[in-house]
């Protein structure tokens, strides 16, 4: 087994990954911006905001593999933040190479490729990236900085581009959706005929664990998803069942839905619920001989149950 550094260890994905890697027998060191709640079996080391001046000494000694999850700190402008994140990634790669780290796995996002697809026309890892928002452009810039640093140092880089990650304790838009479903309010989404790729946190952790050691992962850009893509009505019905609530869906004309998308706060969530965004991870499954171990039905039920129990 390996000695692994996980950056961003205090986050939603980071905590789950640390636990999963320990369960697989790895020795895990976790770094975070600030002191974090203990994770059984994990040595946690605060490092502050990660940037181009970060001192990684003491964090990389004896480390064989780095899993880089840490995202940008809040900054005054997107361009400054993107540049800082890309530069920080380069510094991490060069620091890691000097201490003998052999592989760095970077958690990017499918949004580095774009934010929408036509139903049945999923994104493939070989497609030209066309990010459509600042977040996606920043992710792509960091990927390219890492790939350039890999050529300079010889370190193996693995880039993962997951779609939306869900699971117990998930926050942001997915938690907002569960709140809406739990409220019992009727939702105007019955007529949505889209397809979205998602990935359950346990499936992502399993894939990262595989990518840490599998020789077929080296140098690859890997897409990932659950075993099946879902429409928004299907997603809501699964969540409603897990929340023990009725799925109250109704149809509205498309012009009315377009008007609702203009409502502040509601608009961005509605846009993501009505558009398709699919990823084709066939290359990942073949290269790493991997299949997601948990079905969407089970993953969504566990996510909804955890939300229900905490509410």
Question: Which of 47, 66, 85, 135 is the catalytic position?
Answer: 135
* Residues of the chain below pLDDT 50: 73-77
pLDDT of residue 267: 76
Structural domain contains residue 305: no
pLDDT of residue 75: 42
Give the residues across from 223 on adjacent strands: 161
pLDDT of residue 72: 56
Do 199 and 248 meet the contact criterion of CB atoms below 8 Å apart? no
Residue 5: Cβ-neighbour burial (10 angstroms; 0-12, 13-18, 19+): buried
Q: How far apart are CA 47 and CA 2, in angstroms?
A: 22
CATH number reported for the structural domain that contains residue 43 in this entry: 3.40.50.720
pLDDT of residue 79: 57
Answer positive or negative: Cα dihedral of 293, 39, 52, 99: negative
Residue 166 falls in the annotated catalytic set = no
pLDDT of residue 104: 99
User: Do residues 147 and 246 both lie within one domain?
Assistant: no
Structural domain contains residue 89: yes
Structural domain contains residue 86: yes
Tokens in use for 120?
A: 């049945």
pTM, to two decimals: 0.94
Residue among 8, 22, 21, 3 at smallest CA distance from 63: 3
pLDDT of residue 35: 79
Q: How far apart are CA 30 and CA 42, in angstroms?
A: 7
User: Do residues 55 and 85 both lie within one domain?
Assistant: yes
User: Do residues 259 and 283 both lie within one domain?
Assistant: no
User: Do residues 247 and 151 both lie within one domain?
Assistant: no
Number of domains in the chain: 2
Tokens in use for 226?
A: 């659950």
User: Do residues 176 and 126 both lie within one domain?
Assistant: no
């Amino acid at each position: 087994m390996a000695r692994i550094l996980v950056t961003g260890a205090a986050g939603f994905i980071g905590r789950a990954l640390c636990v999963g890697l320990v369960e697989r027998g790895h020795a895990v060191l976790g770094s975070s911006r600030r002191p974090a709640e203990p994770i059984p079996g994990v040595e946690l080391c605060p490092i502050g905001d990660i940037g181009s001046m970060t001192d990684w000494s003491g964090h990389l000694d004896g480390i064989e593999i780095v899993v880089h999850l840490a995202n940008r700190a809040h900054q005054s402008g997107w361009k400054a933040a993107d540049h800082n994140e890309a530069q920080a990634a380069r510094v991490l790669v060069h620091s890691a190479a000097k201490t003998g780290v052999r592989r760095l796995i970077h958690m990017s996002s499918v949004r580095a490729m774009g934010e929408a697809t036509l139903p049945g026309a999923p994104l493939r890892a070989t497609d030209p990236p066309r990010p459509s928002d600042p977040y996606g452009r920043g992710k792509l810039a960091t990927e390219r900085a890492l790939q350039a640093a890999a050529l300079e140092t010889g370190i193996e880089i693995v880039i993962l581009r997951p779609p939306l990650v869900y699971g117990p304790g998930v926050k942001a838009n997915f938690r907002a959706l569960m709140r809406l479903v739990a409220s019992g309010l009727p939702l105007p989404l019955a007529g949505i005929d889209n397809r979205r790729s998602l990935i359950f946190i346990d499936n992502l952790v399993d894939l990262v664990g595989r990518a840490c050691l599998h020789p077929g992962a080296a140098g690859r850009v890997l897409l990932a998803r659950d075993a099946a893509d879902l429409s928004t009505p299907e997603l809501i019905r699964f969540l409603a069942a897990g929340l023990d609530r009725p799925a109250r869906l109704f149809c509205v004309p498309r012009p009315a839905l377009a008007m609702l998308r203009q409502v502040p706060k509601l608009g961005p969530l509605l846009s993501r619920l009505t558009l398709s965004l699919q990823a084709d991870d066939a290359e990942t499954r073949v290269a790493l001989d991997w299949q997601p171990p948990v079905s969407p039905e089970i993953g969504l039920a566990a996510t909804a149950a955890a939300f229900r129990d905490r509410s």
